[in-house]
Amino acid sequence: MPDGWHLGSEDIAMAIDFTLSTQQRDLQRASRKFAREVLGEARRAELLATPEERFRATRPTYEAMVAAGYLRKCIPSPAGGENSGLIDMAILAEEFYSVNASVTLTMLGTVLGLLPILLGGTPDQCRRLLVPFLRTSGAPLAGFCSSEPGGSANSSSPPPGEGVRTTARREGDNWVINGRKKWVSSATGWNRDGADVLCVVCRTDSAAPPSEAISIIAVEGPVKGLVFERAIDTIGHRGHLVPQFGLQNVTAPHRNLLGQEGKGLALTAAAFTGTAALVGIFGVALMRAAFEFALHFAQTERRGGVDPIIDHQAVGYALADAKTTIEAARYLSWRACHAVDTQSPGADELAIEAKIFGSEAAVRVITDLMRVVGVDSYDHEAPFARLLQDALALPIFDGGNMGVRRRQLHMMLRQGSYDPLAASGAA
């Protein structure tokens, strides 16, 4: 290209720039170091026999994350924390999740548990309910209680569908909550007496249509009336707790209703927009860890032949495809995070696309990289089993890609007013 074609940065009014700021680079470096020094070692907890033993064994690591201020870094500054946006969360999440998905999900599941408060709470509710989470001590947990036994993809279904089955009725100054929940990260707490805060999605009007019938109520722990049923023995995220439990006449003061009564479905959807963009990054994190191992293997192993296996074109091409997908997933997720932060048109669409793309790419790319490494990838000493087990959750949690996420996109596409260029900012 002739020299005259190269524009100096001062010549271009940059609207697209994926360069991280100095603060973001510092955050990336610090969280990478913390992940390597603290989170890696903690994976040993995943070898214990039962889900609760494994979860409890991660507690010192979680406490170290809190003490180092990482939970505070996930809570927005206006609410008293130190977070300045979803891109910062994505940077942190990629570093942590690539090393230890379980304990990272415990922290980010807690942030999800706080989202109805952060998005829908009054200043008084934020002040009261966020206190334990703003400290740099202890092991505070929060849970977003949406999923239920029997399915939650159709939580907005009108009758004769069941929708949300958990109910809350007014009794004097209190709500009385009854129902059952399943799969809620950390919900039953370290000792089965409930997380510090549970944001419970429940039906507050039996007659109204779903968009008016569902509310979110904050229950503070220890939770009287929480009936532990079981800790699910999951395929991946082996050190993370996802219990099934009942809520039997659990009470919460009326002032703990988050947002407007009856508008809980909209608040739930708002909470799950930000998390969708982050799940794309979870996929990046797992693919990146698999890629680093496979690349090193390919550069150093000859497998009895003359040349390192990376010199074989088939191996080189497979690595090239994997790396291309990782970069694409990362930038789509960052773009989605930025769109959510700036409330740009197309933010919802981009977040869902980042979730679907990053989550499904992770399962595929990790498997492809196992083929590059060959039989030694099947040894637990290599990271692939763990990474694939963790990756399998990505397409089916945070709203399954079939039951929830693609349906959300489908609904957007069906609207007559849908603008296909809005997500690219070119509408």
Ligand X SMILES: Cc1cc2nc3c(=O)[nH]c(=O)nc-3n(C[C@H](O)[C@H](O)[C@H](O)COP(=O)(O)OP(=O)(O)OC[C@H]3O[C@@H](n4cnc5c(N)ncnc54)[C@H](O)[C@@H]3O)c2cc1C
Determine contact, residues 393/183, Cβ cutoff 8 Å. no
- Considering only residues 83 through 112, tell me which ones interact with ligand X, judged by CB under 6 A: 109, 112
Q: Which residue number, 47 or 232, has a Cβ lying nearer to ligand X? A: 232
100, 152, 325, 389: which one contacts ligand X (CB under 6 A)?
152
Angle at 275 between CA 248 and CA 55, to 5 degrees: 55
Cα 48 to Cα 40, 104, 237, 382: the distances in Å are 16, 18, 13, 19
Comparing C-alpha atoms, which of 207, 203, 211, 359 is closest to residue 279? 359
# binding residues, ligand X (CB under 6 A): 27
208, 314, 402, 411: which one contacts ligand X (CB under 6 A)?
402
The binding track of 403-422 with respect to ligand X, each residue x by CB under 6 A or -, is xx--x---------------
Q: Which residue number, 247 or 393, has a Cβ lying nearer to ligand X? A: 393
- Considering only residues 115 through 144, tell me which ones interact with ligand X, judged by CB under 6 A: 143-144
Report if residue 269 touches ligand X, rule: CB under 6 A: no
Compute the least distance from the CB of residue 182 to ligand X, in Å. 8
Report if residue 151 touches ligand X, rule: CB under 6 A: yes
DSSP letter at 263? B
Determine contact, residues 201/214, Cβ cutoff 8 Å. yes
Phi, psi of 201 (to 5 degrees): -85, 120
DSSP letter at 59? H
- Considering only residues 168 through 207, tell me which ones interact with ligand X, judged by CB under 6 A: 183-185
Q: Which residue number, 231 or 309, has a Cβ lying nearer to ligand X? A: 231
HSE-up (13 A, CA, CB side) for residue 56: 11
Calculate the CA dihedral of residues 153, 155, 157, 162 and round it to 10 degrees.
Answer: 100
Report if residue 242 touches ligand X, rule: CB under 6 A: yes
Amino acid present at 11: D
Compute the least distance from the CB of residue 64 to ligand X, in Å. 22
Question: What 3-state class would DSSP assign to 340?
Answer: helix
Question: Active site includes 398?
Answer: yes
* Catalytic-role residue among 88, 196, 390, 398: 398
Alpha-carbon gap, residue 184 to 194, rounded angstroms: 11
Active-site residues, by number, are: 398
Contacts with ligand X by CB under 6 A lie at 109, 112, 143-147, 151-154, 183-185, 237, 240, 242, 393, 396-400, 402-404, 407
